[in-house]
Amino acid sequence: MRLESVLFWIAVGLYGVSTFSYIFGLISKYEKLFLVGLYSALAGFVPHIVAIGLRWSETGISPFISISESITLGAFMAVLIYLIFQFASKKAPPLGVLVMPVAFVLLGWAGTLRKEVASTLAPALQSWWIWVHIIGASTGFASVLIAAGLGLMYLLKENNSGGIYEKWPEPQALDNLSYRFVAGGFIMYGLMIVSGAFWSNTVKGNYWNWDPVEVWSLISWLIYGIYLHLRITFGWRGRKLAWYALIAVVVMIVSYWGIPFGVETFHTGFRIEHT
């Protein structure tokens, strides 16, 4: 087995340790397991980034061409922003209860789809717009996943008291943090859509193709726009938006990876027909 593959599966394993540490820490109400989960995530992130780097060095093409590589990059960005947030603020120790299981499942799924040889990108598709597009997409995903994790913490905090829950931020603080991450994700999604349109125009000569992934990405962006509208205009807070964030992130994951996995689209390996 190649070094890149070994490192990849080490990352999956460590994310699995992190996942179960967070889940059992919550079930047993044993706070020290949250630290085990956090440092296991950090330990897994190291081979994760090295595996991506090794795959990148094979072709010189950024490793997000295939579905497997795209999922790997999405999980990478989610864990990166999660770790930065955790070590910078230390406001939400159990946040990994949602973030790490999602990262673990996504990375494990990517492992079942990955190919030993890194994908290549046709010269016609090489554009700096693709960088803006992918950064917007992956950062937006990470932001709304963390927002959903904060929403889950809000619901748990609201329905429990005493023990480990006493040390969690107040529900209003969790609600405000979730809102900020949704707002950031909404902006990055907008960047993803706009840059994708310019990229499409460069490659195919039009800005919009009604590709299923394009349509679902637009739907996801509008869903988070509705979230912001409900909060800012109608004053929604707390439980309603916490549930909204949790449901919306499922829609977003389906639009990013479920649609191109099940339907042949331009986004499935960036296929394109030349005339």
User: Token digits for 237?
Assistant: 């807070």
- Residue reference for tokens 């962006």: 221
* Average of per-residue pLDDT across 121-138: 75
Q: Which of 268, 249, 128, 126 is nearest to 211 (CA)?
A: 268
Range name among 76-85, 159-168, 242-251 with the lowest pLDDT average: 159-168
**CA separation (Å) from 217 to 126, 205, 220, 266?**
22, 20, 5, 13
Phi, psi (degrees; rounded to nearest 5) at 65: -80, -50
Is the pLDDT at 268 greater than 60? The verdict is no
Least confident of 99-108, 182-191, 211-220: 211-220
C-beta separation of 98 from 148 below 8 A: yes
Could you tell me if 195 and 133 are in contact, meaning their C-beta atoms sit under 8 angstroms apart? yes
Residues 130/69, Cβ–Cβ less than 8 Å: no
Query: What is the token pair recorded at 150?
Result: 């904060």
For 135, the enclosing helix (H) or strand (E) is helix 128-159
Q: Is the pLDDT of residue 261 over 60?
A: no
Dihedral of CA 113/258/42/29: which sign? negative
Query: What is the CB neighbour count within 10 angstroms for residue 59?
Result: 14
pLDDT given at position 271: 42
To the question of domain 123-269 being in CATH 2.30.30, the answer is no
Number of C-alpha atoms within 13 angstroms, CB side, residue 60?
3
Quick check: 272 pLDDT over 80? no
Q: What is the CA radius of gyration of the chain?
A: 19
> So what's the pLDDT on residue 264?
54
Half-sphere exposure of 186 toward its Cβ, with a 13 Å CA cutoff?
17
Check whether 233 has a pLDDT greater than 60.
yes
Amino acid present at 181: F
Confidence category of residue 64, pLDDT binned at 50, 70, 90? confident
The domain segmentation of the chain, as residue ranges, is: 1-86+93-114, 123-269
Whether the pTM exceeds 0.85: the reply is yes
Report H helices in 164-262. 171-204, 212-232, 239-253, 259-262
According to DSSP, residue 170 is labeled P
Give yes or no for a contact between 73 and 135, defined as CB atoms under 8 angstroms apart. no
Q: How much is the average pLDDT of 91-118?
A: 86
| Cα angle: 17, vertex 15, 3; to 5 degrees | 115
- C-alpha span between 164 and 168 (Å, rounded): 7
Q: Please, what is the Cα angle at 8 between 6 and 12, to 5 degrees?
A: 115
pLDDT tens per residue, range 190-229:
999 998 888 878 777 787 777 777 888 888 899 999 999 9
CB 211 within 8 A of CB 271: no
